[in-house]
Structure formats: structure tokens, C-alpha cells
Amino acid sequence: MTGEQWERLIAVINGNIVKPIPAGFIIDSPWLPGWAGCSTIDYFTSEQAWFDANVRAIETFPDAIFLPGFWAEFGMCTEPSAFGAKCRWQRNAPPFAERIITDIAQVDSLAGPDPGKDGMLPFVLNRLAHFKPKIESRGHAIKFAVSRGPLNICSFLMGTTEFLMAIRTGPDQTRKLLNIVTDFIIDWLKLQKETFASIDGLLVLDDIVGFLGKDDFQNCALPYLKRIFDSLETTVKFFHNDADGCVCAPYLPQIGVNLFNFSHNHTLSGMRELTEGRVTLLGNIPPRDVLAAGSAEQVFSAVKAAVEPLADRTQIILSCGGGMPDGVTTENIRAFLSAVSRV
């Protein structure tokens, strides 16, 4: 992210009028390798292929803010690998982390990882350290510490269904698991910020939050998310949940979130109401069915339809309802940016 883009991001979060409305996208391994013309496995195993793909994106779309920007990650294996999860790799698809416990009672055998030594995490830091001079030579900086959220990681460690069931069948042991994972996330985020002084943003991604009801969210998500967002002094506190966002949205200001990316099933105006206008919104056209599978004309129309109902266009960054999905073309992104410049 360039200094100018960072200042625009802060201005939007602070409620200032920014024209045109900024456009931003979460980009990572589901989209970048295929779009850039390399295999997914090369993207993960070749630092140069990873760097070249990110450079191509920022040079092709200079008017877009890419979040978090030069994201050094290994898909959903990044954090679970630190706990010892077996990572299964594919040539042209994201990797998958196999669960390491099958019952919540096994949490007593689970130890918290050292993010500086365990799993793929040292490789994440080293990749960024290797390319930091080249990133900065292009006018960009490493601005975000990033982690999947506590429920997301728990669901990989023991399986989504098993974890959600455990919330009800083993509440005490579930809280122990959540505390272990939350402590790990805080250590991981702090290590990133200690390693790169330019970091002034925090991004946490957790779709499993959207599978909870109100009581379960208050007990099993809110306190852990708040601990995480309180753990780092940063200007931007960014949360992604593109499952159902209604359960978490009213609590985001309390958690400390000031930027939210959510499902395309929610409108910008509806989400603004749920957050009481206290959170900047990143969205919100359908990522798969429109941005990836639609025509350029459909993308253009969807952007206009998302914005036109808004009487107040502050605290909005136009995007899709989630991360950039596989298969989005250059033509469709240009159609998106063209629409943004005209709304």
C-alpha cells in the first residue's frame, strides 16, 4: 500500500469526504496465482512468483487499494500449521489443513505455538523481510499484521461441525481452546508488528463468527475478538466475515473494529444501520456471481446499484462482499473501477 493510499484509507475511516469513493479489494492466493499466470504451488513455494504476482496487481490497477497488500500467506494452512496441522497442497488450488483433534476433550493435550518458530509462520516473516526493500522501492509499505480469527482457527484444528457442537456440549473446554488460540493470535500479531515497524493496521478474518447465534457470539466470539483487537495499538482495525454479518455487526464498535468486510447478502445501507454508522464498510457486490462470473456490464451495474441507495457516502470503500474470488478478470476489475469513478 502506498503512502497516498494509506492516507486515503485513514481519511475514509475518520469520516472525511473522499472523492471518488475509494475502491479496495482483499487479494490473496485464491485469486492472484491464476490471474497472474502461475500455479498455486509456485505462488507458495517461489518467493519471486509471489512478489511478481503482487507487483503485477498493483501496477495493473493503481487506482485500487489492495488489502492487506503483499499478503505473505499460505492459505488456510498459515496459522493451523503452527499447531502441527498436516497441510495438504495442490498444484492449482489453495491448500487445506487437516484437523489435529477429533474431540473437544483432547484440548488438554494442545499446547500454544511459538509464532517465531512453528509451522509456516517463520516463512511468512522471512518472505516479507526478503522483499521489504523491493516493496518499499515501489512506494509501498507493509502496513498490516494479519491473522485468521480464533473461531476460524479452532474450526480447522478440530473440524467446523465438531467445533460448533463443542460450543454447546463442552463449553468449559471450548473456552480453554479459544483462550489457547487467542493467546497464540495475539503473540503472532505482536511479532509481525515488532518485525515491521511500518505496520499500523490489524486484519483479522473469521467467517465462523457468522454461524453463531446471539448468545453464542456473546460468549464464544466477542470476548476473544475484543482481546485480539485490544492487543495491538494500530490506526486501522479491520475485520472480515463474509458469512452472516448480522450477529457481529452491532458489536464491532465495542470490539474495536473500524473497518468491516462482509457478505454481499447484506446491503451497505443495512450494514450501516446495524453498525450505527460507527464502522467504515468495505463492500459490496457479489464476488462470485457478478465480479467473477458476470459480464463487465453486469459488474458496472452492480456497483451503481450498491451505491445509489446511500444518502451518505462517507465511510464507504467499494469492493466485493468478501475476498477477490478465483476467476475475476482484468476486464471486470476495470469495469468495477470505471463504475466507481462515476458514481
pLDDT < 70 positions in the chain: none
C-alpha cell at 147: 491473522
Residue 111: which of 121, 97, 102, 100 has the closest Cα? Answer: 100
With contact defined as beta carbons under 8 Å apart, do 204 and 238 qualify? yes
Sign of CA dihedral 193, 217, 25, 34: positive
Q: What does the alpha-carbon distance between residue 30 and residue 24 come to, in Å, rounded to a whole number? A: 17
Residue 343: per-residue pLDDT: 85
Distances (CA, A) of 50 to 40, 91, 131, 167: 10, 15, 10, 38
With contact defined as beta carbons under 8 Å apart, do 99 and 158 qualify? yes
With contact defined as beta carbons under 8 Å apart, do 245 and 266 qualify? yes
Q: What does the alpha-carbon distance between residue 54 and residue 138 come to, in Å, rounded to a whole number? A: 12
Q: What does the alpha-carbon distance between residue 199 and residue 141 come to, in Å, rounded to a whole number? A: 8
- 23-56 tens-digit pLDDT: 999 999 999 999 999 999 999 999 999 999 999 9
Q: What does the alpha-carbon distance between residue 230 and residue 152 come to, in Å, rounded to a whole number? A: 19
Q: Would you call 132 exposed, middle or buried from its count of C-beta atoms within 10 A (0-12, 13-18, 19+)?
A: middle
With contact defined as beta carbons under 8 Å apart, do 144 and 201 qualify? yes
What distance, in Å, lies between the first and last C-alpha atoms of the chain?
Answer: 24
Residue 215: per-residue pLDDT: 97
Residue 14 preceded by cis peptide, ω within 30: no
- 167-216 tens-digit pLDDT: 999 999 999 999 999 999 999 999 999 999 999 999 999 999 999 999 99
**On the CB side of 63, how many CA atoms lie within 13 Å of its CA?**
16
Provide the strand spans (E) within 72-214: 87-88, 96-97, 144-148, 201-205
Q: What does the alpha-carbon distance between residue 317 and residue 313 come to, in Å, rounded to a whole number? A: 9
Give the CATH architecture of domain 3-342. Alpha-Beta Barrel (3.20)
